[in-house]
Amino acid sequence: MEKKSFYKNGPFNAHIILGAIAIAMIGVSIYLTNHYFGVKFPTSITDASGMCNINSFFNCDTTTNSPASNIAGVPISIFGVLIGAFLMAGFLFKNEEVEGTNHLILLVNGVGCLILFLYSLIALGGLCPMCTVYYLLSWAALFIFHKYSSHRSIGMKPIVLYFLITLATSGTTWFSVNQKENQINQIASSLLDQYWKLPNLGKPAIDSEFRIASASDNFTDAPLQITFFSDFQCPACKALSDNSHAIASKYAGKINIQYMYYPLDHNCNPKMQRPLHTLACQAAYLTTCLPSKFGKVHDDIFKNQATLTQKWLNDYAKKENVSECMQSPETKKKVQEIISRAEPFNINSTPTMLVNGVKIEGVLPLDQLYIILDDILAKATK
């Protein structure tokens, strides 16, 4: 029985559809690659925003800040560009080896997309819109091959060529990533110009009793004042939390960092209409019940974020003798009152911070945040 060949004998309409899918895969992957660089190496304070960040659930930044977004610093979206290009190459060569290799690549890619889709839903509690578009395109391409092609054997020549192209592309991208890391200071002037042109929104009407760094009792007495609006289950918030220790150490005695709850959890945040980070409120209750140990509890929760469970929180509360406090209506009321302090600042995603009154969404690379803080400090001492 003669094997079916998509590239040689597939219907014309199927060829048109696959060609459009391949081009769309390339386009979406290029967008995601640019978004990755915009988030990881922003050239402006607002680089991370855009059509890919719709709301707290459909948000590309959360995915970009997760460990699954890259391999050794190389964004995985690069491979989407290559897969789309390999599919288009099949129309040029039209041989069994290329078709079989492309079929298997699509199969592996389809499984990978399913894993990433489930990871986003389960571990990250949301979806990257453009990533989801890529997943759908990938599955559609796989369906077309499954229907019209019976070639599923890897060809030695195409797989070696694909490997070399992938290696060269990955190496070039890795080199670009390292260059961007080394060029961070070159954008200092532009970054500061943007910062000082943004509106100063002031600070929350009521200060938080929860501090990550404290240079003075009165929040505004320190030359550097940062307010975090954060969620204990938000991966990007964990990245900001990890950075906060370096910030506090570098500017010790000159900076106040206060923590405001903004859990993306419908159990205590009235702005949330559906479940998302369903343990974020419980984590906030736990820290509220241990104000004198806030720093340690804050760090412990973020350290265990990937495996956080209700049992872990309950066991922690039991160990600290605050189980009753966690279940108290007064505790929930206090957390909700802190959440309400975010209203004047139109908080739509986490993390969001106020840096001396200027609102910055997402996680700025430390070197860029240092540029801003150093300039604020220099102006304060003049």
Give the C-alpha separation, 333 to 285, whole Å. Answer: 10
Q: The tokens 């506090």 sit on which residue?
A: 248
| pLDDT at residue 189, as a whole number | 78
Q: Which two tokens stand for residue 246?
A: 């370096």
Residues of the chain with CATH 1.20.1440.130: 6-182
Tens digit of each residue's pLDDT (9 = 90 or more) over 156-201: 999 999 999 999 999 999 998 888 777 765 677 788 889 999 999 9
Q: Name the pLDDT band for 246 (thresholds 50, 70, 90).
A: confident
Task: Say whether pTM exceeds 0.75.
Answer: no
Region 6-182: CATH code: 1.20.1440.130
Q: Which long-range contacts (CB under 8 A, 24 or more apart) does 282-286 make?
A: 282/310, 282/313, 282/326, 283/232, 283/233, 283/308, 283/313, 284/232, 284/335, 285/325, 285/326, 285/331, 285/332, 285/335, 286/313, 286/316, 286/317, 286/322, 286/326
Residue of higher predicted confidence among 257 and 123: 257
φ, ψ (nearest 5 deg) of residue 355: -105, 100
Tens digit of each residue's pLDDT (9 = 90 or more) over 50-98: 567 666 678 787 788 788 899 988 999 999 999 999 999 999 988 899 9
Q: What superfamily would CATH give domain 188-380?
A: Glutaredoxin (3.40.30.10)
Residues of the chain with CATH 3.40.30.10: 188-380
